[in-house]
């Protein structure tokens, strides 16, 4: 894989001439802008950037980014992206999926792209609803969600995307939300990570599941419910008046008060993005008793799938001549005049 050449672009360069068709006020707009703002900062090359998506409102995303784009079929985007990456490891691939696309019909593929660790950024737009099909409950909908398909309220237990990703073997787990000004930072960290980088992005479906994230993602006044994680920094939130500590007796996290800024005394832990055990606790941390963990929850790279595939191909080919004529004549051979040929 060649080191990518940094290209100078502006946000405008990443806009297409296609009319954006999301509902007015949909969180997808904000995510699109965040991405279009991030790409120039990364020095990304539109010709080398590929957005691959499944099906859903969120999966319309590629049509609006001036790069290569492939709007595939419901749930299968990770498989298309894996094939594309194996065919050309130099491509910079962004996957766009939804909570239904990625965790319902496509849960299997999402699991495997993560465990294989194919190098790409995977953005899961979690609006806790099936937007495109007009508002049915999704695998991430909270219990009791009333929808056309669950008029009395859903009763299945919701999946937790970040916990799923980590459980599947993800080496990068990040979180953000549509209108957050920190979203580009999470995207940048994901892009810097070599391997499958999973980002759960809470997204407001203003039509079918309005404001369900307001308790931590409201444009104003919810900041105290956000725990923005930074590597090497103490896990503080609510204007540093509170922190997250590890209860060593129960081996679980707890919220502690920080008095006079002395977080050390309060036992607040320092975020280490490579600590997988703490990452498991962070993705499981229930919102309500705890703040919402946001930012880079986990980042500990491992060799990528495509690198292993390339290495294997190179090793298997080493010293071997790719001579088709010889290959065809291998095995149990003979010539018609009756002389035995040694199997070549």
Ligand X SMILES: Cc1ncc(C[n+]2csc(CCOP(=O)(O)OP(=O)(O)O)c2C)c(N)n1
Q: What are the residues binding ligand X (CB under 6 A)?
A: 55-58, 74, 98-101, 125, 127, 129-133, 138
Q: Which residues contact 25 (CB under 8 A, 6 or more apart)?
A: 204, 206
Min dist. Cβ of residue 209 to another protein (A): 24
Beta bridge partners of 177: 202
Nearer residue to Mg ion within complex by CB, 94 or 263: 94
Q: Judged by CB under 6 A, which stretch of 89-97, 163-171, 177-185, 202-210 contacts ligand SF4?
A: 202-210
Choose among another protein, ligand X, ligand SF4, none what residue 101 binds, the Cβ cut-off being 5 to 8 Å by kind: ligand X
Cβ closest to ligand SF4, residue 9 vs residue 180: 180
- The reply on whether position 75 binds Mg ion by CB under 5 A is no
The dihedral formed by the CA atoms of 1, 168, 176 and 210, expressed in degrees to the nearest 10: 130
> From the CB of 107, what's the least distance to ligand X, in Å?
11
CA distance 175 to 129: 18
Residue 117, contacted partner among ligand X, another protein, Mg ion, none, CB below 5-8 A by kind:
none
DSSP single-letter state for residue 102:
I
Q: How far is the CB of 35 from ligand X (least distance, A)?
A: 15
Q: Can you list the pairs that 5-12 forms with residues at least 24 positions away whose Cβ atoms lie under 8 Å?
A: 5/43, 5/45, 6/42, 6/43, 7/43, 7/44, 7/45, 7/46, 8/40, 8/43, 9/39, 9/40, 9/44, 9/46, 10/40, 11/36, 11/37, 11/40
Nearer to ligand X, 104 or 194 (CB): 104
50-79: which residues touch ligand SF4 (CB under 6 A)? 57
- Where do the DSSP E strands lie in 189-259? 196-202, 226-229, 236-237, 242-247, 252-257
Rounded CA-CA distance 180/40 in Å is 18
Written as six digits, the tokens of 48 are 């080398």
Give the binding-site size for another protein (rule: CB under 8 A): 61
Within 100-119, the residues that bind another protein by CB under 8 A are 108-109, 111-112
Residue 204 binding Mg ion, by CB under 5 A: no
Q: How far apart are CA 161 and CA 283, in angstroms?
A: 9
Residue listed under structure tokens 């590929």: 50
Q: Is 22 in the site for ligand SF4 (CB under 6 A)?
A: yes
Q: Which residues are near another protein by CB under 8 A?
A: 16, 18, 46-48, 50, 52, 55, 62-63, 66-73, 76, 78-88, 90-91, 108-109, 111-112, 309, 312-313, 316-317, 320-322, 324-325, 327-338, 340-342
């Amino acid at each position: 894989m060649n080191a990518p050449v940094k290209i100078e672009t502006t946000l405008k360069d990443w806009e297409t001439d296609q009319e954006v068709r999301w509902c007015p006020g949909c969180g997808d707009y904000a995510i699109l802008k965040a991405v279009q703002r991030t790409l120039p900062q990364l020095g990304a090359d539109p010709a080398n950037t590929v957005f691959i998506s499944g099906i859903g409102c969120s999966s319309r995303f590629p049509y609006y980014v001036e790069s290569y784009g492939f709007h595939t079929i419901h749930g299968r985007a990770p498989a298309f992206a894996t094939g594309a990456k194996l065919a050309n490891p130099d491509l910079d691939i962004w996957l766009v999926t939804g909570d239904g696309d990625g965790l319902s019909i496509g849960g299997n593929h999402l699991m495997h792209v993560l465990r294989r660790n194919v190098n790409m950024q995977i953005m899961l737009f979690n609006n806790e609803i099936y937007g495109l099909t007009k508002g049915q409950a999704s695998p991430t909908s909270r219990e009791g969600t009333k929808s056309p398909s669950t008029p009395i309220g859903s009763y299945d237990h919701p999946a937790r995307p970040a916990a799923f990703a980590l459980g599947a073997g993800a080496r990068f787990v990040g979180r953000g939300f549509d209108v957050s000004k920190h979203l580009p930072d999470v995207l940048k960290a994901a892009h810097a990570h070599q391997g499958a980088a999973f980002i759960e992005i809470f997204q407001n479906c203003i039509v079918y599941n309005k404001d369900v994230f307001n308790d931590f993602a409201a444009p104003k006044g919810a900041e105290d419910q956000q725990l923005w994680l930074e590597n090497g920094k103490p896990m503080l939130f609510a204007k540093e008046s509170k922190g997250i500590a590890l209860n060593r007796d129960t081996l679980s996290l707890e919220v502690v008060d920080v008095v006079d800024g002395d977080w050390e005394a309060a036992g607040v832990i320092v975020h280490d993005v490579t600590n997988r055990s703490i990452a498991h606790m962070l993705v499981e941390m229930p919102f309500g008793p705890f703040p919402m963990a946001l930012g880079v929850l986990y980042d500990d790279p491992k060799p990528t799938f495509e690198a292993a595939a390339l290495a294997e191909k190179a090793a298997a080919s080493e010293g071997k001549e790719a001579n088709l004529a010889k290959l065809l004549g291998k095995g149990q051979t003979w010539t018609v005049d009756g002389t035995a040929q040694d199997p070549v």
